[in-house]
């Protein structure tokens, strides 16, 4: 790194001003001032039948119902929903309803290192919610870490995802019960 700031200068290359170190023969890599969210790094997956085999989960969620899959061969319940049972390898699965209310099993505050696209939301509470038959991770909205305790009652809410795709997307979150 050049510690002599007085040697830094600006050159014109291809009609653009570029800061250089004032004498290096190295190539300069230009980075854009704004980066669009890469599709592969989007935290929320695509939800159409053409893009995922669990589109029924998202259709149910859009209709206000949290669901998951149960294997009709061995009766195992899986979350997140599966297309093949990890226990017996059967593909005979059915969607079953999950409760909208549960208890906080664990929680923490995310202060840094949030996935791309969620940087503006930090800090936020992330919790493990016990719904009885399954435990799942979720944002816990409208709550501060200091106000929560293990065992607190929470209820599901559905949020719309505004993102770089041409179809509507939804996801679940939880919030403390009043």
pLDDT in tens, 49-97: 777 888 899 899 989 999 999 999 999 999 999 999 999 999 999 999 9
The answer to whether position 69 is within a domain reads yes
The residue-averaged pLDDT of 33-39 equals 53
The answer to whether position 29 is within a domain reads no
Residue 124's contacts (CB-CB under 8 Å, 6 or more residues apart) are 109, 110, 114, 118, 139, 140, 141
The answer to whether position 167 is within a domain reads yes
Q: Are 136 and 128 in contact (CB under 8 A)?
A: yes
In this prediction, what percent of the chain has a pLDDT beyond 90? 53
- Split into its structural domains, the chain has a count of 2
Residues 49 and 105 occupy one common structural domain? no
Q: Any alpha helices (H) in the chain, and if so which ranges?
A: 55-62
pLDDT in tens, 118-142: 778 889 999 999 999 999 999 999 9
Residues 176 and 103 occupy one common structural domain? yes
Residues 81 and 112 occupy one common structural domain? no
- Residues 178 and 34: their CA atoms lie apart, in Å, by 41
Tokens representing residue 51 in the block: 């893009």
Mean per-residue pLDDT over the chain, rounded: 81
Range of the domain at 92: 45-98
pTM reported for the whole predicted model: 0.72
Residue 39: is its pLDDT beyond 50?
Answer: no
Choose the final residue of a domain: 55, 72, 98: 98
């Amino acid at each position: 790194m050049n510690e002599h700031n007085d040697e830094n200068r600006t050159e014109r290359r291809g009609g653009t001003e570029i800061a250089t170190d004032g004498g290096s023969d190295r190539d300069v890599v230009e980075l854009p001032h704004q980066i669009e969210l890469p599709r592969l790094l989007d935290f929320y997956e695509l939800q159409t039948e053409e893009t995922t085999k669990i589109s029924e989960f998202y259709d149910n969620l859009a209709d206000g119902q949290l669901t998951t899959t149960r294997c009709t061969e061995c009766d195992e319940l899986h979350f997140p929903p599966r297309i093949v049972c990890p226990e017996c390898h059967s593909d005979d699965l059915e969607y079953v309803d999950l409760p909208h209310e549960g208890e906080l099993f664990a929680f923490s505050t995310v202060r840094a290192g949030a996935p791309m696209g969620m940087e503006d939301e930090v800090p936020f509470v992330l919790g493990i919610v016990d719904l009885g038959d399954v435990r799942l991770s979720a944002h816990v909205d409208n709550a501060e870490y200091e106000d929560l305790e293990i065992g607190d009652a929470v209820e599901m809410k559905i949020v719309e995802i505004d993102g770089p795709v041409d179809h509507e997307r939804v996801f679940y979150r939880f919030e403390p019960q009043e």
